[in-house]
Structure 1
Amino acid sequence: MLHSLFKRNYSLLLASTLLFMLTAGFSYKPAAMQEDPEICLSKEEQRMYDLIMAYRQQKKLPAIKISAALTKVAQIHARDLSMNKPNNADKCNMHSWSSKGNWTPCCYDSKHTQSQCMWSKPKEIAGFQADGFEIVSGSMDDNYIATSDAALAGWKKSPGHHAVIVNSGIWKQRTWQAIGIGVYKNYICVWVASVEDKNTVQKKCD
């Protein structure tokens, strides 16, 4: 019923565009280690995580555990947006994916005609057996440097993005169990899911 309700409300358009992705009704339990050795956080990615958690704490909300799977997806998407530019000002927004990787490409437009392509990315790229959703901050200008402070400031001003971060509005009944952060040059991607990922990220890239 929640999934149907979400689809009926999915026509909501956000200023910076949002990808809403419903979680599946089961737990994701990777069989391997508690820490993925291939995934690390840069200083800016760690700062983005810390800022979001600090803001949630101000709102008396619990911290969200870093997910290796969602961080992998976020980092790959930030790089794809910056390097391959699947988005454009006319049609494809920042939730689009290029054809230059081991994933299904798609042009994500304001009518959400490619929503399923996006919902499948955590499973397709990282084997995460649940859907998630993404918020993105960035610019097509190659000279722009995305920063965590600017990203959070912008999301606070956007009702849709803010609702995701603080679990308000249509997200009020959700409890985020996993978060992934990706920062690359002119883009910052944040993915969230209400399914726990047993694989975390503690390693620092720099």
Structure 2
Amino acid sequence: MKFEFKLQNLFAMHTKLHDNILVISITMMIFLFFCQNIGFSQTSQDKKIPDTYCLNEEELQLFNMINQQRQQKGLPKLELSKSLSYVAYLHVRDLYINRPDSVKGCNMHSWSNKGQWTAFCFPKEQSKRRSVWDKPKEITSYPTSAYEIVYYSADKTGPDEIIELWKGVAPSAALLFNTGKYMKNNWRAAGVAIYKGYASLWLGEGKDPETKIRLCSTDSVITSFTSKSKNQTSITREEPSGGSLGKYYLIFGSYPSFQQAREAQINLINDGFVNA
């Protein structure tokens, strides 16, 4: 009888231990589930672009010049992307301040470990599983990968010099004008930044959920949208009126002659901007 009692006790203890392990396992699964959800929320919050971010006039000029060059080649215009511009903004500052390209095996597409992003040595660490072209998705809410063109000069770094260099170098020209291996890519959005001799341009096929960019040194807001009739992008600058006047100022680009500016104005009027 004693032997049977001990066996029954042992069986009961084993069953209880099994139940306890099961409860602990379920508790751990629930805990991990909530941790993942909390982590996701924090990550989403981290991807918010700061309210202090803005685009300067020189960067807007470079963006408009890129669209002019594409239009001359019969290519569709690009939407100005706040997310891609912010990624470019961070990268040119990282390049200037932290010099990730100074590490052996790393070029100017690299990122340091000094910011709210994952460090990346390009092309050394580039692979099918891990790509530097995923930086826009990592840092912002931009939905797809994107490609970058980088510029550096110790001398002049104005929009004219930047665009001329990019046009004259085969790899960057292929990205800009969808030739070579980028022939099948359909760029929809672009973001730009210029800082201390560096310039960065990101090109992506996704639509940016962020639609408005503040223009530096003003309270103006730049809005990018696509014309339904001709699939062209227009850039407007909205001035705060203190009321509901609904006044908008169009920043379409700068032109070397009055005739070209007049032609652009006529195109805008035909697109529905009767007061252009």
TM superposition score category, shorter chain reference: 0.7 to 0.9
Amino acid at match of 2:184: Q
Instruction: State the match for 1:190 in structure 2.
Output: 201
Question: What CA distance in whole angstroms lies between the structure 2 residues aligned with 1:198 and 1:113?
Answer: 29
* Deviation of 1:160 (Å): 1.3
* Deviation of 1:118 (Å): 0.8
- Structure 1 stretches lacking a partner, 5+ long: 1-29
Q: 1:1-206 residue pairs with structure 2 within 5 A?
A: 38-88=52-102, 91-109=105-123, 112-115=124-127, 116-139=130-153, 141=154, 144-206=155-217
Instruction: Tell whether the 8 Å contact from 1:176 to 1:193 is kept in structure 2 after alignment.
Output: yes
Say if 1:36 and 1:51 are closer, same or farther in 2 by CA, change over 3 A: farther
Give TM-score scaled by structure 1 length.
0.74
Instruction: Tell whether the 8 Å contact from 1:77 to 1:189 is kept in structure 2 after alignment.
Output: yes
Q: CA RMSD in A?
A: 2.3
Amino acid at match of 1:133: Y
Say if 1:177 and 1:39 are closer, same or farther in 2 by CA, change over 3 A: farther
* Deviation of 1:90 (Å): 5.0
Say if 1:63 and 1:38 are closer, same or farther in 2 by CA, change over 3 A: farther
* Deviation of 1:198 (Å): 3.1
Q: Which structure has the larger Rg over C-alpha atoms? A: 2
Over residues 79-98 of structure 1, what are the superposed CA-to-partner deviations in whole Å (9 max), with x where a residue is unaligned?
11111111128532100111
Over residues 122-167 of structure 1, what are the superposed CA-to-partner deviations in whole Å (9 max), with x where a residue is unaligned?
111113221111000014x5xx452221111111111111111111
Say if 1:177 and 1:37 are closer, same or farther in 2 by CA, change over 3 A: farther
Q: Which has the higher contact order (CA 8 A, sep 6+)?
A: 1
Amino acid at match of 1:58: Q
**Deviant stretches of 4+, over 3 Å:** 35-39
Amino acid at match of 1:49: F
Question: What CA distance in whole angstroms lies between the structure 1 residues aligned with 2:50 and 2:209?
Answer: 10
Question: What CA distance in whole angstroms lies between the structure 1 residues aligned with 2:210 and 2:101?
Answer: 30
Specify which structure has the higher proportion of helix: 2
Say if 1:186 and 1:201 are closer, same or farther in 2 by CA, change over 3 A: farther
- Structure 2 stretches lacking a partner, 5+ long: 1-43, 218-276
Question: What CA distance in whole angstroms lies between the structure 2 residues aligned with 1:39 and 1:172?
Answer: 33
1:134 partner SS? strand
Give TM-score scaled by structure 2 length.
0.56
Specify which structure has the higher proportion of strand: 2
* Deviation of 1:36 (Å): 8.7
Give the percent of matched residue pairs that are identical in Structure 1 and Structure 2. 36
1:127 partner SS? coil
